[in-house]
């Protein structure tokens, strides 16, 4: 399956993507995680991305599109992938379409995670990520690790993202409304959109997501 995940920051894309990718046996490709890996390794790409990310702004397309394509061309992604955080604007969505056409492949569905804005702010404020694997995401109230500050899955140290500040979150939400939301209409026109509510427990949302994606795939086949 080839799936795109969309939703505002804090909708739980990363959390759901991690579980969905395991369930569907496809790699989870997160442009945010790729940028964060580049930042921690101090690569030139990471240095460039960091200033945009900390401010809550989108990293320029020239940098992002190339990085996403390189990742999709890796061997483990040959049979499918789950894109989390890409595309994030119409230019990226069009670049992705061109890439897929070039490769002779297509998307099976675009999963839109809907969540009210006040919930998003609460989720982001308490979010903690694992330093060893950014796909391991916790929350100080809603999804507590068994031991405070320690990742349940791999024992890594939990930390708060530098763009999870109030100011950066406000900018990220603005960027989402002005730049990312238009891709929802774009995918709706292509008949690919599946919208589910991202409210409720993590595993309830996962169940909803799997059911919605399977229904979509059966309709497409
Ligand atoms: P969230 O969905 O919570 O905002 P991500 O980890 O997906 O978190 O993204 C964090 C930041 O990384 C974004 O605010 C942006 O600066 C950058 N980023 C991630 N994906 C993209 C993308 N496709 N295009 C541009 N910038 C991106």
- In a structure prediction context, what are the per-residue pLDDT tens digits for the chain, which is 221 residues long? 999 999 999 898 998 999 999 999 999 999 999 999 999 999 999 999 999 999 999 999 999 999 999 999 999 999 999 999 999 999 999 999 999 999 999 999 999 999 998 889 888 989 999 999 988 999 999 899 999 999 999 999 999 998 898 888 989 999 999 999 999 999 999 999 999 999 998 899 999 999 999 888 888 77
Centre of ligand 1 to C-alpha 205, Å, is 22
Decide: 113 and 196 in contact? Cβ < 8 Å.
yes
Give the distance, in angstroms, between the CA of residue 139 and the centroid of all CA atoms in the same chain.
Answer: 17
Decide: 11 and 120 in contact? Cβ < 8 Å.
yes
Q: What is the pTM of this model?
A: 0.91
Ligand 1 pocket member 109 (CB < 6 A): no
Residue whose CA is closest, atom 4 of ligand 1?
9
Q: What is the pLDDT of residue 174?
A: 94
CA–CA separation, 100 vs 107, rounded Å?
A: 8
Ligand 1 pocket member 92 (CB < 6 A): yes
CA–CA separation, 128 vs 123, rounded Å?
A: 10
Q: What is the pLDDT of residue 165?
A: 87
Decide: 59 and 48 in contact? Cβ < 8 Å.
yes
Taking residue 44's Cβ as centre, other Cβ atoms within 10 Å add up to: 9
Residue whose CA is closest, atom 2 of ligand 1?
9
Identify the burial level of 179 via C-beta atoms within 10 angstroms of its C-beta, where 0-12 means exposed, 13-18 middle and 19 or more buried: middle
Q: Of the candidates 205, 113, 129, which has an alpha carbon nearest to the alpha carbon of residue 161?
A: 129
Decide: 12 and 119 in contact? Cβ < 8 Å.
no
Length of the chain as a residue count: 221
Q: What is the pLDDT of residue 63?
A: 94
């Amino acid at each position: 399956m080839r799936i795109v995940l969309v939703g505002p920051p804090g909708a739980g894309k990363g959390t759901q993507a991690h579980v969905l990718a395991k369930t569907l046996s496809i790699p989870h490709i997160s442009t945010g995680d790729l940028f964060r890996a580049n930042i921690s390794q101090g690569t030139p790409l990471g240095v460039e991305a960091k200033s945009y990310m900390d401010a809550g702004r989108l990293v320029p397309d020239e940098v992002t599109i190339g990085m996403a394509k390189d990742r999709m061309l890796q061997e483990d992604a040959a049979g499918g992938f789950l894109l989390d955080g890409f595309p994030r604007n119409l230019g990226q969505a069009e670049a992705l379409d061109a890439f897929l056409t070039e490769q002779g492949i297509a998307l099976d569905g675009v999963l839109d995670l809907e969540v009210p804005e006040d919930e998003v702010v609460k989720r982001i404020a308490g979010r903690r990520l694992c330093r060893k694997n950014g796909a391991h995401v916790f929350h100080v109230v809603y999804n507590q690790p068994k031991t405070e500050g320690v990742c349940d899955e791999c024992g890594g140290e939990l930390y708060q993202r530098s763009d999870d500040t109030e100011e950066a979150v406000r900018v990220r939400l603005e960027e989402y409304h002005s730049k990312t939301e238009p891709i929802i209409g774009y995918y709706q026109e292509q008949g690919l959109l599946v919208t589910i509510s991202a409210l409720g427990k993590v595993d309830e949302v996962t169940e909803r997501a799997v059911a919605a994606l399977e229904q979509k795939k059966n309709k497409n086949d």
